[in-house]
Amino acid sequence: MRTKYLIIGNSAGGIGAAEAIRQVDREGDLAIVSDEAYPAYARPLISKYLSGERTLEEILFRSPDFYTQNNILFLAGKKVMRIEPGRQSVQLEDGADISWEKLLLATGGNPIFPRIKGSDKKGVFTFTDLDDAKAVDRFLDKPRKAVVIGGGLIGISVTEALIKRGVDVIVVEMKESILNTILDQQASLMAEEVLSQAGVRIITGHTVLEISGRDTVEGVILDNGDAMLCDLALVAIGVSPRSELALEAKLEINRGIVVDHHMATKHRGVYACGDVAEAYDFVYGENRVTPIWPNAYVGGRTAGLNMAGVTAEYPGGMAMNSLNYFGFDITSAGIPTAPNDSGYETISKQEGNIYQKVILKDDLIMGMIFVGNIEKSGIIFGLMRDRVNVESFKECLLADDFAWHSFRGRYGKSDWRHHQI
Ligand SMILES: Cc1cc2nc3c(=O)[nH]c(=O)nc-3n(C[C@H](O)[C@H](O)[C@H](O)COP(=O)(O)OP(=O)(O)OC[C@H]3O[C@@H](n4cnc5c(N)ncnc54)[C@H](O)[C@@H]3O)c2cc1C
């Protein structure tokens, strides 16, 4: 089979690219291959599916007829085994060969699965796709006890879903605090308090060495020798770029697939985006893997436009998360804690259940955390994204009456970066 455009991956990055291609080229043959069997769904919502708050239809982010409406050949449930950039072709698991003119790798991430003795037992799950959520769902036929290994974003979102399903949950986090990649110590303690009030037991500073039981999970043993009973173990350590296809094809890989501002790899006609790619992060000023949904979608759009012949630049992304656990709002972006470096300045305030913090360097916002009251986080995020120099009004960034009008006149229109992507 031949196609002009081939996209591997049917999620944020893949769909972003397909939509951008179709904006420019309505006719060129376009195929999307996915080893998942579902139309595009919002991966962050698989916890809502597990908790029973959303059905499959309610987590789809494009309607099932999106593909026919856009003249896209959707090859669902098909795995790409090999890409050959030199021959401009890929091979599928079923033996089919597809040749392409432009290829996008939007293959996302693989769940990280550390060596844990006994992890092959029935009752051990990861939680990164809809099939994982379905598998856990099938297992929850009676009240259970679960140990969630990893207190990051995935671990805490599955914890909330399990609690809503009536499961007792213990979270075991190796570092000293949960959500430590996006929150500082203070915000993390507040999140822990909310989880504890919801009945979650949190153990930090330890890890699980062994999953005990015969064929089925009966408990876990921690690195300090403590044993706890459970019949479900969720491994939620995080994801790593799913770059094995690129590796075998000898594309340049650092932590993720290396791309330029056009999301192009060094191999002509081959692009990458999303969780598998290492794209420009404007907070750090370098290419990094920043595995979040908006970055994948915008990176996909950038790749798609370039694949269809329109020159477009990725505006840059950054780590950004907006969460609501058990009704408690948290927004964070950029760096959560200022490095021990005199160039950084931290402005923060705490009142009861509200905590807000902004980190500055050279009067540019490098990071922010809003907990409890996130109302003003959008403005701060806008200033951060647009690289606005806040020197003249930084003292009021966290003031209760801070608003766009606080700096009108000092933040002229010419300062805006226009995001055409
Ligand atoms: C539980 C959970 C909660 C999350 N919460 C948030 C959140 O609150 N906010 C946020 O911004 N982000 C969140 N994320 C991250 C977000 O989902 C990802 O950043 C985003 O989905 C990345 O999109 P992507 O297109 O790069 O890849 P993915 O969504 O990972 O999709 C890649 C697709 O490619 C397919 N694929 C891979 N290799 C092959 C192959 N060889 N052949 C065929 N198909 C292949 C995969 O099966 C998959 O369907 C969450 C992720 C998880 C797992």
Measured in Å, residue 126 CA sits from the centre of ligand 1 at 14
Give the residue from 369, 397, 374 showing the smallest Cα distance to 188: 369
pLDDT at 271 over 90: yes
Ligand 1 atom at minimum distance from 9 CA = 34
The preferred substitution site among 92, 293, 318 for testing ligand 1, maximizing ligand atoms within 8 Å of CB, is 293
pLDDT at 415: 40
pLDDT at 414 over 70: no
Q: Give percent of the chain with pLDDT exceeding 90.
A: 87
Residue 356 DSSP symbol? E
Mean pLDDT calculated for residue range 191-204 = 97
Measured in Å, residue 232 CA sits from the centre of ligand 1 at 24
* Strands 145-149 and 168-173, sheet pairing: parallel
Q: Is the CB of 125 under 6 A from ligand 1?
A: no
Cα–Cα–Cα angle for 10, 320, 127, rounded to 5 degrees:
50
Q: How does residue 144 score in pLDDT terms, banded at 50, 70 and 90?
A: confident
pLDDT at 404: 62
| 3 state DSSP class of 238 | coil
Q: Is the CB of 111 under 6 A from ligand 1?
A: no
Which stretch of 220-234, 269-283, 384-398 has the lowest confidence by average pLDDT? 384-398
Measured in Å, residue 303 CA sits from the centre of ligand 1 at 17
What strands, in cross-sheet order, belong to the sheet with 328-334? 320-325, 328-334, 364-371, 354-361, 344-351
pTM metric for this prediction:
0.93
Distance CA 318, CA 335 (A): 9
CA distances 134 to 48, 50, 126, 412, Å, are 12, 7, 11, 51
Cα–Cα–Cα angle for 100, 256, 24, rounded to 5 degrees:
40
Tokens encoding 399: 């003031």
Mean pLDDT calculated for residue range 43-69 = 97
| 3 state DSSP class of 135 | helix
352-378 pLDDT tens trace: 999 999 999 999 999 999 999 999 899
Q: Give percent of the chain with pLDDT exceeding 70.
A: 95
pLDDT at 305 over 90: yes
**Phi-psi region at 301: left, alpha or beta (left = phi > 0; alpha = psi -120 to 50):** alpha
Neighbours of 202 (CB within 10 A): 20
pLDDT at 95: 96
19-32 pLDDT tens trace: 999 999 999 999 99
Measured in Å, residue 388 CA sits from the centre of ligand 1 at 31
Q: Is the CB of 35 under 6 A from ligand 1?
A: yes
Q: How does residue 400 score in pLDDT terms, banded at 50, 70 and 90?
A: confident
Q: Is the CB of 45 under 6 A from ligand 1?
A: no
Measured in Å, residue 10 CA sits from the centre of ligand 1 at 9
Q: How does residue 418 score in pLDDT terms, banded at 50, 70 and 90?
A: very low
Tell me which H or E stretch contains 190. helix 185-197
Q: How does residue 226 score in pLDDT terms, banded at 50, 70 and 90?
A: very high
Q: How does residue 419 score in pLDDT terms, banded at 50, 70 and 90?
A: very low
Measured between alpha carbons, how far apart are the two ends of the chain, in Å? 31
Q: Is the CB of 12 under 6 A from ligand 1?
A: yes
* Beta pairing partners, 202: 171
Residue 101 DSSP symbol? E
Q: How does residue 253 score in pLDDT terms, banded at 50, 70 and 90?
A: very high
Ligand 1 atom at minimum distance from 300 CA = 25
pLDDT at 417 over 70: no
Measured in Å, residue 140 CA sits from the centre of ligand 1 at 24
Which stretch of 62-76, 142-156, 406-420 has the lowest confidence by average pLDDT? 406-420
pLDDT at 406: 60
The preferred substitution site among 292, 323, 381 for testing ligand 1, maximizing ligand atoms within 8 Å of CB, is 292
